[in-house]
Amino acid sequence: MATAFTATLKFAGQDGASWSYYCTISDVTAENYVFPDGNGFINLPNNHGIVYLVDLITSTAGVDTRSAEIWVNGINTGLNVHNASCLYTNPSRQFWGAPLKFSPGARLQIIQRT
């Protein structure tokens, strides 16, 4: 049975600024991570230079969905979030040691997949 879970996305700017977004995730294929403003996407700030996703922490691995696609500016990047690799209990989470880099002002969308 599909149940909602959460994710924390931690970012750092080229200028050293850091911030987090807290998302709700529906355990349903083709549903977006829902950001705090209620949208299924977030426009990354453009005043911190290059933006890095330095960590993504999920509260559970999901039941019906196990991964999600990362889309930037409406284009599928081919990169996937593997929910189990991002669990809060995992000391070597997927993006913790290998941050993703985004252009300033990029539109980020994460879409659940099976």
Q: Secondary structure of the chain in the HEC alphabet?
A: CCCCEEEEEEEEECCCCEEEEEEEECCCCCCECECCCCCCCEECCCCCCCEEEEEEEECCCCCCCCEEEEEECCEEEEEEEEHHHHECCCCCCCCCCCCEEECCCCEEEEEEEC
Domain total in the chain: 1
Provide the pLDDT confidence category of residue 43 given band limits of 50, 70 and 90.
very high
For residue 70, what are the domain limits? 5-113
pLDDT digits (tens, 9 = 90+) for 57-88: 998 888 888 899 999 999 999 999 998 889 98
pTM over 0.85, yes/no: yes
